[in-house]
Amino acid sequence: MRTILSILTGCLACLTVVSVAAADGIGDLGRYDYEIELRAIRHALTKVHMEELAAEIKLAMPVRAPKLLEDQINNRIDKKVRVVLEEKCPDSRYAEIEQAASEKYRMYKIGDFVSMDGIQRGEWRRIEGYLDAITNERIKLGDIYYARQDLTELARPKFYREDHEQAVRKYKAIQVRNFNLAKKELQEEQRRLFANQEWPKFGYVYSRRMRRWVPAETVLRNRYQKKLKRIAGEQRNGIMEEVYAANGYILDSRNQWVLESDVAVTTNTSMLARVRQFLLMESQDGSPAGGAGKLNNDYPDSEWEDEWDDEGQGNTGPGNRNIQTVSAPVARQDLRPSQPSDVSDLYDE
């Protein structure tokens, strides 16, 4: 009986080595990656057409590289904008504002005829007369005195220097700010107008995502590559199954790709393991002590049981015999070929 078990164990060891070698073949699936990728791309090339993509983003074929660099186009636009600004918002406007402030708050001198709105005898009315005197508290028009505090904000700067300077500064600041705002609005309006004329003329399209003009050629090329990769990816799994099947691989019970020969080896190995276990039980039941005593006087029960225990352990029996069983490695679950890095979609028109 023990001789039979030894023979079976040797056979099992041989089959296990064969199984391990076959399982190692799973790692060779990577050698089909190139073929799978090539077939997927070739399929995608028949489905993606540059003319259709150009029509989607309203580009006329052929789409060529830009005729001018970005700096050159910006310089053209700047020159055209400056011409419009000089015509409608000239820098001479600042001098005009200065002059207008001086006229608006021109100061009176003694002896000048004054005509202004003010309070007289408790009522607002038109006040007129020759300026006779100016003090810190009041002014005198003819024979009538008017308190400084009763003068309007428009009239007071015409009689008192500090009020005059303050009013002039305020007026100029307001007028300059309004002028600059109007000039800026006109500049932006003209820039948009000329940009819509110049950029498309030299091979650019506007990217809302990037908020700037970009080469039409780059946009079309990236859209083409993106769609090509998407369609290739949709077909890759089906092509992978065809290639693996054509090269002798099948899906096992765990949905993993393995060589068809590996399945047969694994089945035979399991059968021999069951046979060995059955013979071991038979030998124990046939012992004089009903399996509880010694099978051989030379070897205690503990040594014998340890020698033929769980086949997953490596045990050393008499005579330094090393009996080991090797488990076949599990096939990789993720057998899809590594993908090239995606091209970023920088343009989302």
Per-residue pLDDT of the chain (349 residues; tens, 9 = 90+): 444 444 434 444 444 443 444 444 556 788 888 888 898 899 889 888 888 888 888 888 888 888 899 999 999 999 999 999 999 999 999 999 999 999 999 999 999 999 988 777 777 888 889 999 999 999 999 888 999 988 889 999 999 999 999 999 999 999 999 999 999 999 999 999 999 999 999 999 988 888 899 998 988 888 889 999 999 999 888 988 888 888 888 888 888 888 887 765 555 555 555 555 555 565 555 554 444 444 344 444 433 233 333 344 343 344 443 333 333 333 344 444 444 444 334 334 3
Separation CA 201–CA 195 (nearest Å)? 10
Closest-CA residue to 29 (of 267, 327, 246, 230): 246
Write down the pTM of the prediction. Answer: 0.51
Separation CA 26–CA 260 (nearest Å)? 11
Residue 131: CB partners within 8 Å, gap ≥ 6? 108, 109, 110, 111, 112, 113, 114, 139, 140, 141
Closest-CA residue to 51 (of 60, 42, 40): 60
Please tell me the number of Cα atoms within 13 Å of 47 on its side-chain side. Answer: 16
For 300, the 3-state DSSP assignment is coil
